[in-house]
Structure formats: structure tokens, C-alpha cells
Amino acid sequence: MSKAQHIFLVEDDLSFGAVLKSYLELNEFEVTWVDDGKYAVDKFKAGSFQICILDVMLPNIDGFTIGTEIRKLDADIPMVFLTAKTLKEDILKGYNVGADDYITKPFDTEVLLCKIQAIIKRQSTQPVSDEFLFSIGSYEFDSKLRSISRDGEKQKLSPKEADLLKLLCQNKNELLSRETALRKIWGEDGYFTARSMDVFITKLRKYLKDDPNIEIKNIHGSGFLLEVNCEAENQ
């Protein structure tokens, strides 16, 4: 790398944190390590980072809360949660906060390294599309500003909500396969990312519910269909 990518690491286990920091630095990353949750957000504000690695079980403030606060400061930064908790509810909570990945302990540091490299590469090589304004029935969707507006009211979207809605708009009245959406937005089509996408679809339905001419249909076993009554849209 010509310039070291900067990782923000929050991990309270001093032994593991030191080992992980050293390992990532040996692989040409710059690492800022925080071992107490109460200092994490202020430390994040003071730096410039390409990715966050957050332990969930922390003293004072948990990783999910830190992730939520970081999302308010930087809506686009990739985020990976580390945890010993394997309950489905906890994993889904991580994805709802906006996680790009969720890794359960113990794990192989080489696997974490590969995931970090893949996420950063995906961020840097995402194609730029000139199309960013979309009409969805009576709504206007600005994918750059990540907002939906209707009758003077505006709804702000999270990065993944906006990415998913943009993909649906680009395939309006056509099937968007689950695999395509998962790979383009989450980078993989595993069980938990699929469940996370279902949560985002539910949120998008809620945002668009006031226009009866719009429906996001679940095509069983295949994907989703953003169905818009074109006659009503053109009136």
C-alpha cells in the first residue's frame, strides 16, 4: 500500500488487543487502539479512519452503542463487530447498527485480515453512477443525499437503506434477486446478511407506505420487486 489504511480498533482485552494491533500493523495497516468504550467516540472524532473494528462486550459503553454513535459522525465508514456472543438476536442487532461484518470469537486473525482487505477494496472500487435522482410514485429519492421526500416531508436513510433502495429503483418493476442485492451491498449472501436485508426491506416499506401505488413485493425464493403503478406515477 502506498499509504497505510487507518483502522480504528476498540477491544478491552489487553493481551488480545495488543496482539491484534501488532498483527494488523505487520500487514501494513495503521491502527488506533482504544481499550475502554467510554473513550472510543472522542478518540474516533480525533482521527481519520477507513474502517472500524469494534468489540461488543466492553466496559462502560458497549460496542453497539459506540457503533451507533460513530454512524452519526460518519454514515459510510465500514464497521466490523467482534464478539463471543453467538445469539441470532445479537448478530442481527449488529447488522441493524450498520455492520459490514460480524465475527464471533475465537477467530483466525488471517480470516479477519482477509475480511478487512475485502471490505476496503469494495469501498474503493465501487462503481460511480451518474444516476442519483429517482421518482418512486409520489416520492423523490436522492441517493446521494440518502433522502426520500414527499409533500415537503423528508426521510433520511442509512447508507445501506439508500444502497438497497437505489438497487430496487434501478430494477423498478423488475425482479431484483436476493443474491445480487446481498453481494452488491453486503459483499456476501450468507444467512445472517440475508436476515439483515429483510430488516432493511421492512424499513423501506414503512418509508413508502403512504403511496398505495408503491409495493415492495417479496418474490418467494427469488428476490424482491419494487412495483410502481406507472399510470399513477405519470399523472
Write down the pLDDT at residue 1: 40
Cβ atoms within 10 Å of 224's Cβ, excluding its own: 22
Write down the pLDDT at residue 231: 54
Write down the pLDDT at residue 101: 85
- What does each of the 235 residues of the chain score in pLDDT, given as a tens digit? 446 789 999 999 999 999 999 999 999 999 999 999 999 999 998 888 999 999 998 988 999 999 989 988 887 788 999 988 777 777 787 777 778 888 888 888 898 998 898 888 876 655 545 578 999 999 999 998 999 999 989 999 998 899 999 999 988 888 888 888 888 888 777 888 888 899 999 999 999 999 999 999 998 878 999 999 865 455 4
Write down the pLDDT at residue 212: 93
| Nearest C-alpha neighbor of 65 from the set 44, 47, 48, 51 | 44
Write down the pLDDT at residue 3: 65
Confirm whether pTM is higher than 0.85.
no
Q: How far apart are CA 13 and CA 171, in angstroms?
A: 46
Q: Where are the beta strands (DSSP E) in 75-195?
A: 79-83, 101-104, 133-136, 139-142, 147-150, 153-156, 175-177
Write down the pLDDT at residue 230: 61
Residues linked to residue 214 through DSSP beta bridges, in sequence order: 228
Task: Identify the burial level of 192 via C-beta atoms within 10 angstroms of its C-beta, where 0-12 means exposed, 13-18 middle and 19 or more buried.
Answer: middle
Write down the pLDDT at residue 10: 96
